[in-house]
A and B are shown apart, each in its own frame.
Chain A
Amino acid sequence: MTKLCGADVPFDCAQGRPLCPHPTGKVQQAGRNARPTRTLLILAILFLPCLAHAYAGPGAGFAVLSSFWAIFVAFLYSFYALMTWPIRQLFRFLRRRNAYGKAKFNRAVILGFDGMDPELSERFMNEGKLPNLAKLREKGTFTKLRTTFPAISPVAWSTFMTGVNPGKHNIYDFLARDTSNYLPFLSSAEIKGPKRHIKIGKYSIPFGKTEIKAMRKGTPFWHWLGKAGIFSSVIRVPVTFPPEKFSGVLLSGMCVPDLKGSQGTFCLCTTRGSSDKFREGGVRVPIERRNGTCYSYIPGPDSPLAGTAGNEMRVAFEVKPDPTAKQVRIVVASEKLTLKVGEYSEWISVEFKAGLGFTAHGICRFYLKEVSPEVEVYVSPVNIDPGHPDLPISHPVTYSIYLAKLYGPFATLGLAEDTWALNEHVLDDEAFLAQCYSNHEDRERMLFDALEKTKQGLCTCVFDTTDRVQHMFWRYLDEDHPAAREVPRDQRPNVIPELYQKMDRLIGRVMEQIDDDTLLLVISDHGFKSFARCVNLNAWLHQNGYLALKDGKTESGDWFDDVDWSRTRAYTMGLNGLYLNVKGREMQGIVDPAEAEALKIELQQKLNGLKDPASGEAGITGVFITGNVYRGPYTENAPDLIVGYGAGYRASWDSVLGKVTGQVFEDNLKAWSGDHCIDPRLVPGILFSSHKFATEKPHIADVAPTILTLFGLAPPSHFDGKAWNLTG
């Protein structure tokens, strides 16, 4: 049984704050039994004479000082805000008169449902399951929204915000390849520690700031709005890390790292001995039993004072198992919590201390998997603490602090839903869903706060739950998915229909908050299809003589270990990119640039329509030469070809990691059973609108120019998208 601790009883929970403290929440104090004592005390105080009334102990001081301080600061802020308001309004008026003067709406609200599929939406609307989306369809617009090449979230959302094709924003996948060593790096941001260090004894003290460089180019459209004096609240739009300055508030989304700097590393603490390593995304940490108490630790980032990698900081914790009650008592730092089997803790603050005052602040959640005979505790990836961010995750920096203070800690990791843990069977379906929906509820609270705060301007929020849940639960929607063949059809949970209904209810609540002067857009960056069969393109390249292994090898390791580059003409890594090993570009390139175009065409012709021998279906339905689909200054960083897999197919898990295996096609047996990294023409996104637009084949790149136009601004000339015409 999976449940969120204290979700319904805010202060009964063993740990921390409630999941959803009401913003104006009445705080439940001591129970009813305390009332007589309290009454007696109050009466006693009332009847005590003058000296008691003049009580001036420290408690009175705390109360008076703290509240006075709050009121004083508030008064100062308010006084400043009120006094300068007319002047600021004047400036705003001068700056924005053209924008709002010609604006067709007072406010635009964009809800991004990552991966919401138009075919499923239509099916569920027709079945009467999505009444609010159906209302939008009738009253406004519903159509498919063409997506980017490839149909991957960071690529598509970058196009959404910049209004340009990937050749102009430089994001082609989650990963890009380093031509000097054929290894991957994160495509969206580069984080470098301080360049200078001062060596004192065993310490290497960093001197200077951590550099975070945004790799995404192009300017998000809310920057143009801001320049015109239009305020924006932007929540969790992917590839907004590091956050950039503009007139508004922004909370970064997908691509924000965890405290270790990875895209999410969970930890399974266990007494069960195993030397197995997780394929990726997690580590196994032993739990040591001593005198009935278990001891383990949470692995953290490397110490900044060590000077070299591999000096991991840790936070120790104790687990006291109670097998009879099927629960444990966990003591971590100053927190003490009781967890039952199948229960998550609230977010727990953890501090990784390196010494000399260097501390990394994180938050994580515990989940008790098993208490007897073995003890197993899942610890979520350690997220950057939004209330004490060691890296900037919002603009201004205080915005994440504001949200953390208002609603309590929340997931900040870009890919906050731990899909790897479900893939690796560390979390089960219920535990994973509970995690997803807990994050989703946090996001909803942020959205409604932004709606309340942004009565004029732009309010946009992206929800990832739709993407993660479809990735992990498509197997139950498919007739015959290899990953769910053992689950009888009548026992399959209705996760995806329920997900769509949940999103529909959210839209309903948003619709209650907006008026006719607000434009509501509901969009997704791509749709979804089954991922039942894996295609190892590196295997195909090997079998067809484009990729060579070192003598005697029949398979490679990850990241092209044992690949003979001196005889390799093409290779693939990541989800859709195929690269030529070009002389002068790649470190050990052999393909003459003059012959590259011919090789691309050759590969395109051979791969297009590649049949799966098991079913006879096309595993690849389109191969696109990037020079033909991208335009812009960063096209040279793109893969040479984009491979569009057929419905039901995707790049294999090994192929993504640059591994050559013996088989080209194989079943996908993982929980990750739905995907969209296929032929982009097969997975368009959705576009719902509260108002009617006249547009044929709208594209995600059109959103930015449309919003600018509706606010009375001229879209910049470098935009690739075209504004839609409002007809009703």
Chain B
Amino acid sequence: MALSVLLFRNPLAIVVVLSIVIGLLMVVLFGYTSNQKAIKIAKDQLKAHLLAVRLFQEQLHVVVGSYGRILRGTGRYLRLAFMPLLYVIIPITLLIVQLDRYLGVAPVQPNAPFLLTVQASSADALSGASLDLPTGILTTAPAVHVPADHEVVWRLAASREGTYDIGVATGGDRVTKRVKVSSELSRLSPVRFRGRFWERMFRSSESAIPDNSPIESIAINYPERTIRLAGYELNWIWLFFIFSMIAGFIFKELLGIQV
């Protein structure tokens, strides 16, 4: 129980556990989806050409020729590694997207100011824009209009933790944007879009703004989350990259899979 609480609250622990699990899954998937024999041969031949440079170092034509073969061999190896990579890239990418909603940004803290940016299709559409604020959310500064970008920005603050729906009214139309104020790990959606399917898929977890609305997007500037490790503040994706690769290299040896 204590461990699960620790895991749930500690982003570093989450990243480490996920990296190990995904490292293992990746190796197994790689083993199943790749041409293991061809990869072994490609790697062996690369090693052979490396050894040739050493063995025949007196023969310049061999050194130069081997170097060319190493480059070609590397290309062949990358090509062989690319196909299994394609097979796993979609599930892993979707997983990364989901994880990024938890680990990429942090929720707004109580009493800490944050910005809400509304972008419309034209500057006119925002001339009479106003906010419909729920209880617990306050504006801390007047709205700033940026006509050139068709934007209007509000600075807001929340007095206590909670999930709020902030309404944006313009020209008789009303669109809401959800904001989370919390000190826990939460699933966050930094932006809500109109249309823009691919961007919505990768950056938003809210439904699309109706097509007839003049508002194109509403964004909250959640602070970026970093994880402290060995004195460095790092984005979770880098830690995931490093840990999952270490796990992968260990598992590939244990499982005898050519990578």
Residues of A that sit less than 8 Å from B by CB: 11, 16-18, 21, 23-30, 38, 41-42, 44-45, 47-52, 55-63, 65-67, 70-71, 73-74, 77-78, 81-82, 85, 88, 92, 231, 249, 334, 396, 398-399, 401-406, 408, 453-456
- A27 and B97 form a contact (CB under 8 A): no
One of B59, B96, B100 near A55 (C-beta < 8 A): B96
Q: How many whole Å from B32's CB to the nearest CB in chain A?
A: 12
**From residue 54 to 99 of chain B, which have CB atoms closer than 8 A to chain A?**
54-64, 66-67, 69-74, 76-78, 80-90, 92-93, 96-97
Partner of B83, one of A29, A398, A406: A29
B225 is an interface residue with CB less than 8 A from chain A: no
Q: Is the CB of A71 within 8 A of B76?
A: no
Q: A49 to B199, Cβ gap below 8 A? A: yes
CA distance A78 to B53 in the complex (A): 7
A100 to B67 CA separation, bound complex (whole angstroms): 28
Binds A, one of B120-128, B156-164, B242-250: B242-250
Is B89 within 8 A of A25, CB to CB? no
Knowing A30-B35, A402-B48, say if A63 contacts B78 (CB, 8 Å).
Answer: yes
9 contacts between A and B (CB under 8 A): A18-B41, A38-B83, A45-B86, A58-B23, A71-B71, A77-B50, A81-B57, A396-B55, A405-B51
Q: Check if B177 is an interface residue, CB within 8 A of chain A.
A: no
Name the residue on B nearest A449 (C-beta): B52
Q: Provided the pairs A21-B41, A27-B42 are in contact, do residues A56 and B78 lie with their beta carbons within 8 angstroms?
A: no
Residues of A within 8 A of B96 (CB): 51, 55-57
Residues of B in contact (CB 8 Å), total: 76
Q: A66-B43, A405-B48 are in contact. Are A92 and B81 (CB under 8 A)?
A: no
Q: How far is the CB of A11 from chain B (nearest CB, A)?
A: 6
Asked if A42 and B86 make an inter-chain contact with CB atoms under 8 angstroms apart, the answer reads: yes
Closest chain A residue to B26 by CB distance?
A58
* Bound Cα distance A48, B64 (Å): 40
Q: Are A406 and B245 in contact (CB under 8 A)?
A: no
Closest to A74 in B: B70
A58: which of B64, B66, B93, B247 is its contact (CB, 8 Å)? Answer: B247
- Give chain B residues whose Cβ lies under 8 Å from the Cβ of A334: 256
**A85 and B41: CB pair below 8 A?**
no
B89 touches A52 (CB 8 A): yes
Query: Does A27 contact B53, Cβ atoms closer than 8 Å?
Result: no
CB distance B62 to A45 under 8 Å? no
CB pair A62 B259 closer than 8 Å:
yes
Alpha-carbon distance between A51 and B100 when the two chains are bound, in angstroms? 10
Q: In angstroms, how far is the closest chain A Cβ from the Cβ of B5? A: 28
Chain B contact residues: helix, strand, loop or mixed = helix
Given A51-B96, A62-B30, A63-B78, A74:B55 Cβ within 8 A: no
Most chain A CB neighbours (cut-off 10 Å) among B41, B84, B90, B100: B41
Smallest beta-carbon distance A641→chain B, Å: 45
* A70 CA / B87 CA spacing, docked (Å): 24
Q: Is the CB of A59 within 8 A of B81?
A: yes
B52 & A59 in contact (Cβ 8 Å cutoff)? no
Contacts of A402 in B (CB 8 A): 48, 51-52, 55
Known: A77-B54, A398-B55, A405-B45. A70 touches B73 (CB 8 A): yes
Residue from B40, B73, B241 in contact with A61 in the complex, judged by beta carbons closer than 8 Å: B241
CB of B41 within 8 A of CB of A27, answer yes
Residues in chain A near residue B51, CB distance under 8 A:
398, 401-402, 405
Question: Is B232 interfacial (CB-CB < 8 Å)?
Answer: no
Cα of A29 to Cα of B89 in the assembled complex, Å: 19
Give Cα A672 to B38, complex, Å.
Answer: 40
B93 nearest CB neighbor, chain A only: A52
Asked if B8 is an interface residue, CB under 8 A from chain A, the answer is no
Given A25-B41, A52-B202, A70-B74, list of 5 further CB < 8 A pairs?
A29-B38, A57-B244, A59-B85, A63-B77, A66-B77
Smallest CB gap from B77: residue in A: A67
Known: A27-B41, A58-B245, A453-B56. A63 touches B81 (CB 8 A): yes
Residues of the A chain whose Cβ atoms lie less than 8 Å from the Cβ of B62: 453
In the complex, the answer to whether A88 meets B58 with C-beta atoms within 8 Å is: yes
Contact of A24 among B69, B77, B84 (CB under 8 A): B69
Q: Residues of B contacting A45 with CB < 8 Å?
A: 86, 89-90
Cβ contacts under 8 Å, A27 to chain B: 35, 38, 41-42, 76, 80
- Give the chain A neighbours of B66 by CB distance below 8 A: 74
A82 to B59, CA, bound (A): 11
Say if the beta carbon of B105 comes within 8 Å of chain A. no
Cβ contact within 8 Å between A249 and B53 = no
A66 to B37, CA, bound (A): 17
Say whether B240 faces chain A, with CB atoms less than 8 Å apart.
yes
| Chain A min CB distance to B233 (Å) | 18
- Given A71-B70, A405-B45, A406-B44, CB of A63 within 8 Å of CB of B58: no
